[in-house]
Amino acid sequence: MIVMNAVVAAVNAASPTPLPVTVPGSGIFQSSLLLSLMVWAPVLVAVVIAVLPNPRGRFDALMKQIAFFTNIGLLFILWVAYNQFQILGTVQFEENVPWLPAIGAAYHLGIDGPGLVMLILSGLVGLASVLASWGVRERVRSYFCLLLISEACINGAVVAHDMFVLVLFWGAATIPLVLLVLGWGGPRREPAAWRLAAYWGLGTIALLVATLVLYSAAGGKSFDMDVLFRIPVSPRVQLVAGLALIVAAATFLPLFPFHGWVRDVYSQAPVGVCVVVAGGATRLGGYVLLRVLIGAEPIGAQLLSPLLGLMAAATVVYAGLVVLRMTDLRRGAAYLAMVPGGVTVLGLAALSPLAIGGSVLSLFSGGLAAALIVGVCATLTERAQTGNLHVLKGLAPRMPSLTWITVFAVLGLLGLPLMASFPAEAMTFFGSVKNQPLAAFAVAGGLAITAASLAVIMHRMLFGTPNPDAPGVSDASSGEKWFLGVLAGALLWVGMFPGGPKLPGTDTPIFDPGLVNAMAAGITEMASPYAAK
Amino acid sequence: MRSFLLVPEALVAGTALLLLVAGPLGGVPRSWRSRLPAIVAVVVVAAFVVELWAGGTLATLFGGGFIQDRFALFAKAAVLLAVAAAIAVADWSAEDSLSTGLAMTLLAAFGVMVVASAGNFVPLWAGLELAAASGVALVGLRRPDIGLRLLIVGGVATALFVMGFAFVYATTGTADLLAARTIIANAAPTLPLAIPVLLLFGGLAVRAGIAPFHLASVPSSLGASPMGAGILLGLVAAAALIAAIKVAALLSPVPETLSLYLEVIAAVAMVGGGAAALGVRAPRARLAYLAVGQVGWVAAGLATHYRSGLGGALFLAGAFTLAATCGPAVLGGAEGGEASLAGMGALRPARALGIAMVFLSLAGAPPLAGFFGEFTVAAALAQSGHFGLLALGLLGSVLSLVAALGTLRVLYLQSPPEEGRRAVGFALPAWTSVSSAGAVAFCVVIAAYGAFANPILGLAYQGAEALGLR
């Protein structure tokens, strides 16, 4: 009992933020290690899975269940953290331990509003990816180990408050994802994996260069974001670091012309991996732009905003034009997944508080929408036994569930009302039309092209005359419905209740303080240099 | 405490001599042979513990020829840890002679320890030669032709080094490193000083196997037994790197004399090593080229000629010694193409994890020892404004990472061939409880090197300070 009390006392160290006691879940437990739990718990479980005896795959199902309940546990921790989160401009749940003091690197974690939003996105996408991977039959142990490690790396990059830690997790995320594509991808998995490694390797180099340029310009004393971002550096340095950051973000998001990996990876990777990449890992690109360029280098951001606007416009227009000519469903979905990234970057290019807020929400909604469109198209291709759009016709009567989820995904991608992407795109466009009018109109035009193309394709593929020569089709399995449902449900939930729902008949919020309010914490300070705009 | 200072050296050298004498005379009982690697590993671990316990004492022995300072402590602790792990993890059934293999490994480690504690040029040279000679002996045991080639190349390296040393001695009038540094601090960066520096670094580059001088050491390591390759790629290179750090510290008051050489060497090694690693498929060849790339990073750290750069280089040299020495040992007899590793993740999980750790660490992948070392050097390069070298290093690292991922794919994602179809050179390493425990211990050490980087890097920086750098 004494030992247990000591352990409980150690774990229940005081939280840095006082509690809103009226919120369910906020008082369940408190720990100063919440963010470390989000990062290291999946790694620990991966190690456990790796050493579990599994003769002839007898415990494959158990490993899937362990991965599933790990994600449920992470979501529970996230729910507790969310309800303890306060609407303040400060970084919360901080952990700061010196790591390499000789060069000024520390294990410094912490999140503000945008960080919390990204963490929720990562949690939801992680759960969806495990559900989407339920059908994996080969080397189950290795697959789920790598999947959990990739989730941990994404979480680590989100909560990093030291550039060294950010580079570490950002770079580390590439390794398990490349191996997942290599090991469980389609027939052309090798070129897909190596392209991913090459592009994301370039992105990691670019992020490292930006980090070291800022570090050097700031006197070479610290990698801590609190220190590094507060030391004024010359416009030239900001410009160089900003260019490197744009390259890093563009390879991940991806943005035109750094999108070379998209088609191969999304068309060859297994569905669960596609979901993690499209929903979680790629959003890190936008997050880094927001956190480091927009949030810390205002002069560099202003100098580079035309370039950002141009890349956003080129990305959305290019994706729309490719979709216009697409003949393969999964490849088309790959380009569709680029669209939310373009919208996010448009908001960041506009450099107005409203557009930046829209961009942050678009990171969340865009991640969900990209994961959903890639996931549903991959599932549909598997269920229909072909992705050829000349063959796929009139599927709605034979696969009703997938049909409606596909329609839902398209609506979510295009940002129609009731979807989380609607307020995100509305804020982005309203906030950017003054500062980046040409880019905003180009992005809107790209979205219009995409919408028109999708309308034609959906009509023919889902509601047209069935093709008697097409292979046999079947509707989604329950596991597939669940993973697609998680993504679609989250998209709808935030779209319907952006301020957060209340417990029925009371004023008690189920999720406090509501995603949009939580997101706003931290943006105000970040956007303050651009408030005049 | 002072009386314990030489205990680690005595343990290592004494055990080596005992093995050398007992082996040919049949003094090792047959029943002990299977336990001998474990016993020797325990002796080396004991030497490591004594080094950590007593090595903090500052002392000068043998008229200034032996200096015990933080630099020596760091370097010796790193090499002892690497050797203990390599001996534990090695597949000794793939060696030609158990007692000779163990003895040569220990002698090579002793040579590195002598270099680490060297107070003047003579022990520096002697330690370097001892480490290299041990490697030649072990390689020659299996392949006399390669041993001969290695001997010739080693002779060239020695000639360059000794000529450089002689020129420096002629310029400064002393063989003592600290005294020579004081004299050089007041000298101008002249051509007569630049020429011996070129010779010195040329000799050390050949010994360390840095590109383009790797054309001798890398092919030699390919024909060697696993421990022979470990000595060549890890311990001899470590001896050369430690000597290079000492020479760089000696010349740091006149950086113009060495920076250009080191920058060129580092650039070629980092990019060339990564590109060559990508171009080959045989696991040991890939490992050798990855090692070349990481040695290039150490050279880049030296090119900064600041405490942070040299401290970072020393920190990375520790990680490199660990991975490069244990790499061939953990690979075992997998000397054929990459098919020799196919499916090892399922058949030998601990060893496969060790191989993965070696490749990823040498490639500088996060979050392993090599990443922390390379990041520290990268920070030093940024501080000193060497952005071109930094960019080349990062390019080399990406190439190395892609190469390492290729090996991981074979380890974990390819199905193992049928046992009956395994050809010579494709045999799986023998499974023993000691080697499995050694592989796990090695994985823990290489992961912990980054996780506990704070005290380790602190010690490395103190080591750089001990060389007179601020």
pLDDT digits 0-9 by tens, A263-280: 999 999 999 999 999 999
DSSP structure class, residue A338: T
pLDDT of residue B177: 87
pLDDT, averaged across chain A: 88
Question: Is residue A7 predicted with pLDDT exceeding 50?
Answer: no
pLDDT digits 0-9 by tens, B224-257: 888 888 898 899 999 999 999 988 888 877 777 7
- For residues A438-446, give the mean pLDDT: 95
- Higher pLDDT residue, A342 or A394? A342
- For residues A328-336, give the mean pLDDT: 94
Question: Is residue A6 predicted with pLDDT exceeding 70?
Answer: no
pLDDT of residue B461: 87
Contact B457 A103 (CB under 8 A): yes
pLDDT digits 0-9 by tens, B284-293: 889 999 999 9
Task: Kindly report the backbone phi and psi dihedral angles of residue B211, in degrees, each rounded to the nearest multiple of 5, phi listed first.
Answer: -60, 140
pLDDT band of A519, cuts 50, 70, 90? confident
Contact B398 A169 (CB under 8 A): no
- Pick the residue of B386, B399, B401 with the most A CBs within 10 A to test the interface with A by mutation: B401
pLDDT band of A18, cuts 50, 70, 90? very low
- Per DSSP bridges, beta strands B59-61 and B66-68 are antiparallel
pLDDT band of A13, cuts 50, 70, 90? very low
pLDDT of residue B418: 67
Question: Is residue A138 predicted with pLDDT exceeding 90?
Answer: no
pLDDT of residue A322: 93
Q: A286 with A344: CB under 8 angstroms?
A: yes
pLDDT digits 0-9 by tens, B176-224: 888 888 888 777 777 777 888 888 888 888 888 776 666 666 676 677 8
ipTM: 0.83
Return the structure tokens found at B261: 């050489």
Q: Is residue A15 part of a domain?
A: no
Q: Is residue A16 part of a domain?
A: no
Give me the residues paired with residue B445 across strands: none
- Pick the residue of B348, B387, B394, B444 with the most A CBs within 10 A to test the interface with A by mutation: B394
**Amino acid (one-letter) located at A376:** V
Nearest residue on chain B to A98, alpha-carbon basis: B454
Give me the residues paired with residue A97 across strands: A107
| Distant-in-sequence, close-in-space partners of B54: CB < 8 Å, separation ≥ 6 | B1, B4, B5, B7
pLDDT of residue A14: 33
| Distant-in-sequence, close-in-space partners of B272: CB < 8 Å, separation ≥ 6 | B211, B212, B292, B293, B296, B396
Give me the residues paired with residue A466 across strands: none
pLDDT of residue B270: 94
Contact A220 B382 (CB under 8 A): yes
Question: Is residue A533 predicted with pLDDT exceeding 60?
Answer: no
Q: For chain B, which residues make up each domain, given as ranges?
A: 2-466
pLDDT band of B305, cuts 50, 70, 90? confident
pLDDT digits 0-9 by tens, A40-83: 999 999 999 988 888 888 889 999 999 999 999 999 988 888 88
Contact A168 B367 (CB under 8 A): yes
Question: Is residue A204 predicted with pLDDT exceeding 50?
Answer: yes
- For residues A104-118, give the mean pLDDT: 92
Size of interface A-B (CB pairs under 8 A): 104
- For residues A123-136, give the mean pLDDT: 95
A184-193, A446-455, B177-186, B385-394: which has the minimum mean pLDDT? B177-186
Q: For chain B, which residues lie within 8 Å of any Cβ of chain A, measuring from their own Cβ?
A: 308, 311-312, 345, 349, 360, 365-367, 371-372, 375-376, 378-383, 385, 387, 390-391, 394-395, 397-398, 401-402, 405, 408-409, 412-413, 453-454, 457-458, 460-461
A496-505, B175-184, B452-461: which has the minimum mean pLDDT? A496-505
Q: Is residue A10 part of a domain?
A: no
What's the rounded Cα separation, in Å, for the pair B167 and B71?
26
Q: A442 with A313: CB under 8 angstroms?
A: yes
pLDDT digits 0-9 by tens, A390-403: 888 889 889 999 99
Neighbours of A432 (CB within 10 A): 29
Find how far residue B94's CA is from the centre of its chain: 21
Question: Is residue B85 predicted with pLDDT exceeding 90?
Answer: yes
pLDDT of residue A266: 95
pLDDT of residue A46: 95
- Pick the residue of A43, A97, A103 with the most B CBs within 10 A to test the interface with B by mutation: A103
What's the rounded Cα separation, in Å, for the pair A504 and A502?
6
pLDDT of residue A19: 43
Range of the domain at A43: 25-530
Return the structure tokens found at A478: 């329950």
